[in-house]
Amino acid sequence: MLIGAHVSTAGGASKAIGRAEEIGAECMQIFASSPRAWKVPPMAESEVEKFKAESERAGMGPTVVHGKYLCAIGSPDPELVEKSVAALTAELQTATQLGALGVIFHPASHRGQGFEAALPQFTDSMKRILDDVPGETLLMLETSAGSGDHIGSKFNELAQIIRSVDDPRVAVCLDTQHVWAAGYNIADSGGLEETIKEFDSEIGLDLLRSVHANDSKRELGSSVDRHDNIGEGLIGSDGFKNIMGHSAFADVPFYLEVPGFEKKGPDAPNVEALKKIRG
């Protein structure tokens, strides 16, 4: 189990590796471009080479790319779906160039049309993205907290999407805060066992390829997406001891997306906290 964090790519993707090293991360998550703009400029070949050389030097990896928060391939607005498909395709392209494990993206909201209605276009969109970018880089659906009309707060919804897309490159990123907010009590050993059982029967544990390791500011089942520093939230250090001790997570990389003790994002104390729990 490797412990990593989301880090900034300011100044170029290759700069992220030094930042990850500085906080003690063993693997990292990055954005392919600004998460708040639609444009995904192609990465220069020279930057890709620098990135690979730096990753190799630092022994950093696997790297994952987080998709834009703007994307919503389950939306009833065709223009938004097209923009989302284009962005995710470009992000998968960048991830492939960088030799990343995959792109993690939010299923986002169906915006009132209902999951069943959104499923065909969601499936079609994922197929188009995968078809446009050959290779082995994964497209990972992230579990959601379940606020509003968000897709993916129940493992069964992700399972339906996965079956419908039917591609070996589709996998899942489990966000500890999101599943907690969605009502899965992973802090408790019985609750975790039930959660893992449900994940395995609905999705299959072999598709669990990454974890977003975040404590929670909000209570179990709140449906609210609010990350906290490890040990400061309601999942707590004991909760993470429970999670990290489970065999289902033994070979899965963990990526922190916490606010940070100085509110500057994932930091050394959070990485250290997870490492201590891992033992």
In the complex, which residues of this chain contact Zn ion (CB under 5 A)?
142, 225
Give catalytic status of residue 56 as yes or no: no
Distance CA 227, CA 218 (A): 8
Q: Which of 6, 66, 150, 169 is catalytic?
A: 66
First-to-final CA distance of the chain: 11
Least distance (Å) between residue 225 CB and Zn ion: 4
C-beta of 91 vs 142, nearer to Zn ion: 142
Give catalytic status of residue 69 as yes or no: yes
- What is the widest separation between alpha-carbon atoms in the chain? 50
Give catalytic status of residue 227 as yes or no: yes
Q: Which two tokens stand for residue 214?
A: 């975040």
Q: Which of 19, 150, 209, 212 is catalytic?
A: 212
Distance CA 13, CA 28 (A): 11
Residues in the chain: 279
C-beta nearest to Zn ion: residue: 225
C-beta of 26 vs 142, nearer to Zn ion: 142
Distance CA 152, CA 64 (A): 20
Least distance (Å) between residue 257 CB and Zn ion: 6
Specify the residue for token string 């993916």. 152
Q: Which of 54, 91, 225, 267 is catalytic?
A: 225
C-beta of 98 vs 172, nearer to Zn ion: 172
Determine phi and psi for 82, rounding to 5 degrees.
-65, -45
Give catalytic status of residue 246 as yes or no: no
Give catalytic status of residue 47 as yes or no: no
- Do the Cβ atoms of 70 and 36 come closer than 8 Å? yes
Give catalytic status of residue 66 as yes or no: yes
Least distance (Å) between residue 101 CB and Zn ion: 15
Specify the residue for token string 């998460």. 35
Q: Which of 6, 19, 106, 218 is catalytic?
A: 106
Distance CA 103, CA 129 (A): 11
Give catalytic status of residue 178 as yes or no: yes
Least distance (Å) between residue 45 CB and Zn ion: 28
Q: Which residues are catalytic?
A: 36, 66, 69, 106, 142, 175, 178, 212, 225, 227, 257
